[in-house]
Structure 1
Amino acid sequence: MNLDILKQAVFESRDGITISDALTPGNPLIFVNPAFERLTGYNAEEALYRNCGYLQNDDREQSEIAVIRQAVAQGEPCLCTLRNYRKDGSLFWNELSISPIYNKHGTVTNFIGIQKDVTSRVLLDQQLRQKNKLLEESTIELAQLATRDGLTGIYNRRFFDTQHAIQWGIAMRNKDTLALFLIDVDYFKQFNDTYGHQAGDVALQSIAESLNKSFVRGSDFVARYGGEEFVILSVGLSVQQATEYTARICERVRQLNIEHPASATGHITISIGFTVSMPAVSAQPSSMIEQADKALYQAKAQGRNQAVGV
């Protein structure tokens, strides 16, 4: 091929082209084309006989720089994208491709570098990553909204129903017990009538937090069942353990010390109905709800502020 054509191609290229001297310490540049000058703002006189590391200014803590150095040391080609800075200090993202040139003895004498400004592409990629991150966060938030109760932050009834069916199947397969606690805030309508719904909401939030702190095992599941009712699912408890849990729950709610004149104690209390069973093929998860509900009704009939198990 005609050398004049090759020379013209190098000078007319829209990409920056450089040639460095691999036999001289520091691998200094010995040629830059006009596109390199336009890209960096450095003319040939300013650019030549210097290692092109000056394009990084003080921004040298880039992993790509180590990749380039290793490639040069081993006489190998490499392609990377790194932050470079023009003469005026403005940043651009440089897609740099370097390739070794060998003499007839197999010695690397030079490196040819192709430099392309890919700032627009990198910024677009960054924007896309940011949008994807926001999308992921939004997806997580939507999932939270779908599974969490908006007032208390604990799980909602719909998600509880799903988990109840799942845990029922797991417990049946593992021949394990499943405990279900149905909890109702005593005289809550009167509390709202006395203090207002905003105070009622705050009380429900405090009770939900207390319940959550009472059941901290990975298999424990606390949800708002509706209104002033809560439901808790726990795997592997015996009847004795479940009874001890209910005593602890009632005491924790009493310790919240939420004033309630309509209550016999003068403070908010709860009633609990619970059941412990080993799921069987012949039964359904809903049977536990029915049993716990009957026990809850009994707890209320016996004066509230207590737990009854069946």
Structure 2
Amino acid sequence: GGGGGGAMVEQYLLEAIVRDARDGITISDCSRPDNPLVFVNDAFTRMTGYDAEEVIGKNCRFLQRGDINLSAVHTIKIAMLTHEPCLVTLKNYRKDGTIFWNELSLTPIINKNGLITHYLGIQKDVSAQVILNQTLHEENHLLKSNKEMLEYLVNIDALTGLHNRRFLEDQLVIQWKLASRHINTITIFMIDIDYFKAFNDTYGHTAGDEALRTIAKTLNNCFMRGSDFVARYGGEEFTILAIGMTELQAHEYSTKLVQKIENLNIHHKGSPLGHLTISLGYSQANPQYHNDQNLVIEQADRALYSAKVEGKNRAVAYREQ
């Protein structure tokens, strides 16, 4: 009789454990079609809002309400085919329609003959964890995009939307190395708007800003190729960096730029020319033979000074003195 009494105690203990467990516990019968639930504990009914009689006889998938995670379903199917336990996290719906995230552990129950008769399901509400992870992921994404935005802002001139001097100087170092490896020329064009102080004094800073934006846009649209770019160097000065131009191309390009700005026909009574124009100086270097990228900027600056002295509204190439 003692053995029987022991078995009774064990049965009682098991029932107490299942009944009072904090996690949801379900048992489904896989000998019947669609693997229906045959048992749920109190924690499951608290977690889902469904009473036992509402769910017994149903397949547990009703909790997904058609909002199916295909990879989790696939994991369960594979586990059932291979008779292995599995762990998945499912988006489930309580009876009142609210969502909770259910970490489901499924374990096959095997009888004396080695056949699977039932599945034991342990359900954990991991909503807080999932929401925390999502929040962290979103915050990380936000931090990353903020970082990218800051990097962008650090390299962009706010008024014109062009790259700024800092970006140009960083790029010049990079492009110089690339050009020396691929035996390419680098051309620097330095551009200055003629009589711009007088323009601001006459028409005001708002008109001045508008003129800067228009000129920036025009210069930006005159690119030869993707590797060329224009930067606002400061005030009314712009710089263009171009890779692989011949002397003839640089001459034609610079002449075209001066002409394009003149063609904008921005009225300027403070200029002897009657409208806004630019002066441009440029210098070319082959980084294979020159190791000083700052020198090419200085030379372009000198050529710009010559363009100013010679009467403005023109392009001048740097020539060795």
TM-score (normalised: structure 1): 0.93
Which secondary structure does the structure 2 equivalent of 1:111 belong to? strand
Out of 260, 267, 292, the residue aligned to residue 252 of structure 1 is 260
Alpha-carbon separation, structure 2, partners of 1:22 and 1:272: 84
- Seen in structure 2, the aligned counterparts of structure 1 residues 72 and 157 have a Cα distance that, compared at 3 Å, is same
Contact 2:69 2:90 in 1 (8 A): no
Moved more, 250-259 or 51-60: 250-259
Which secondary structure does the structure 2 equivalent of 1:150 belong to? coil
Q: What does residue 246 of structure 2 align with?
A: 238
Out of 191, 203, 210, the residue aligned to residue 211 of structure 2 is 203
Alpha-carbon separation, structure 1, partners of 2:165 and 2:19: 71
Matches within 5 A, 1:9-48: 9-48=17-56
Matches within 5 A, 1:20-169: 20-60=28-68, 63-169=71-177
Q: 1:265: Cα distance to partner?
A: 4.0
Q: 1:174: Cα distance to partner?
A: 2.5
Alpha-carbon separation, structure 2, partners of 1:239 and 1:230: 20
Moved more, 68-77 or 155-164: 68-77
Alpha-carbon separation, structure 1, partners of 2:170 and 2:234: 16
Which secondary structure does the structure 2 equivalent of 1:214 belong to? coil
- Seen in structure 2, the aligned counterparts of structure 1 residues 35 and 163 have a Cα distance that, compared at 3 Å, is same
Q: What does residue 301 of structure 1 align with?
A: 309
Q: 1:49: Cα distance to partner?
A: 0.6
Q: What does residue 194 of structure 1 align with?
A: 202
Contact 1:21 1:110 in 2 (8 A): yes
- Seen in structure 2, the aligned counterparts of structure 1 residues 241 and 42 have a Cα distance that, compared at 3 Å, is same
Alpha-carbon separation, structure 2, partners of 1:225 and 1:196: 21
Q: 1:53: Cα distance to partner?
A: 1.3
Which secondary structure does the structure 1 equivalent of 2:268 belong to? coil
Q: 1:151: Cα distance to partner?
A: 1.4
Q: 1:297: Cα distance to partner?
A: 1.4
Out of 237, 258, 271, the residue aligned to residue 263 of structure 1 is 271
Alpha-carbon separation, structure 2, partners of 1:183 and 1:304: 11
Q: 1:129: Cα distance to partner?
A: 1.4
Alpha-carbon separation, structure 2, partners of 1:225 and 1:14: 67
Max Rg structure? 2
Q: 1:62: Cα distance to partner?
A: 5.2
TM-score (normalised: structure 2): 0.90
Q: What does residue 279 of structure 1 align with?
A: 287
Q: 1:248: Cα distance to partner?
A: 2.7
Contact 1:62 1:82 in 2 (8 A): no
Which secondary structure does the structure 2 equivalent of 1:26 belong to? coil
Which secondary structure does the structure 2 equivalent of 1:94 belong to? strand
Contact 1:21 1:29 in 2 (8 A): yes
Instruction: Report the residue type matching 1:176 in the other structure.
Output: N
Q: What does residue 189 of structure 2 align with?
A: 181
Q: 1:177: Cα distance to partner?
A: 0.7
Alpha-carbon separation, structure 2, partners of 1:20 and 1:45: 14
- Summarize deviations over 1:127-150 as a string: whole Å, max 9, x none: 111111211121112111221112
Q: What does residue 224 of structure 1 align with?
A: 232
Q: 1:254: Cα distance to partner?
A: 3.0
Moved more, 77-86 or 189-198: 77-86
Unaligned runs of 5+ in 1: none
Out of 13, 16, 30, the residue aligned to residue 8 of structure 1 is 16
Identity of aligned residues (%): 51
Alpha-carbon separation, structure 2, partners of 1:106 and 1:251: 90
Which secondary structure does the structure 2 equivalent of 1:275 belong to? strand
- Give me the CA root mean square deviation: 2.0
Alpha-carbon separation, structure 1, partners of 2:43 and 2:36: 18
Out of 170, 173, 183, the residue aligned to residue 178 of structure 2 is 170
Count how many residue pairs are aligned between Structure 1 and Structure 2: 310
- Seen in structure 2, the aligned counterparts of structure 1 residues 117 and 207 have a Cα distance that, compared at 3 Å, is same
Which secondary structure does the structure 2 equivalent of 1:87 belong to? coil
